[in-house]
Amino acid sequence: MAGHSDNDLGLPDFDKPVKVAIVIAPYYTSISEAQLTAARGVLDKAGVTHETIEVPGSLEVPTAIGISHRLSNFDGYVALGCVIRGATSHYDVVVNESSRALTMLGLQGLCIGNGIITVETREQAEERADGARLNTAGGAAEAALHLIALTRKYGKPTGNLGFKPRGTIEIADGSAGA
């Protein structure tokens, strides 16, 4: 994930406007506020328009991204939330399923930076949410921007590639179909 290495790619440049949705599960208020500040700071620095969508929990983040992708015009998404291990297996379900769903959406071509924090303690969450330390949310925003840039670089093919049907259909006996 961006923001967790010594290799800083910097922010990509865009020649056309970019619109990003920050989708957050604000379960832990102070953690969420720090995540939003960090992600918005990166997007603002890149000159990107953004909108924030709140959902009840981290399991709903991928669903909200899927809905937004189908019904709106966002170029990319920043997934934010925080899951702290508790005494039950619910942690494992939330962590694994939200990550799997975000990965599946990404493999379908959505540009998503995953900044859902998954930790053992609140102290670990605070460290990862802190924009001056690990800055997981800022890294997720950077990742989304780099994926958007990659998508725009390669874009959809133009020209005469692929199958193009003729105006009429030829039937095996030589007659023309409709």
Are 47 and 83 in contact, with CB atoms under 8 Å apart? no
The shares of helix, strand and coil residues in the chain, as percent rounded to the nearest 5, are: 40, 20, 40
Cα–Cα distances in Å, from 18 out to 5, 54, 82, 140, 166? 25, 20, 26, 16, 38
Indicate the angle between helix axes 90-107 and 60-71, nearest 10 degrees: 20
**Identified catalytic residue from 4, 50, 90, 146:** 90
146 carries an active-site annotation: no
Are 128 and 117 in contact, with CB atoms under 8 Å apart? yes
Q: Which residues are known to be catalytic?
A: 90
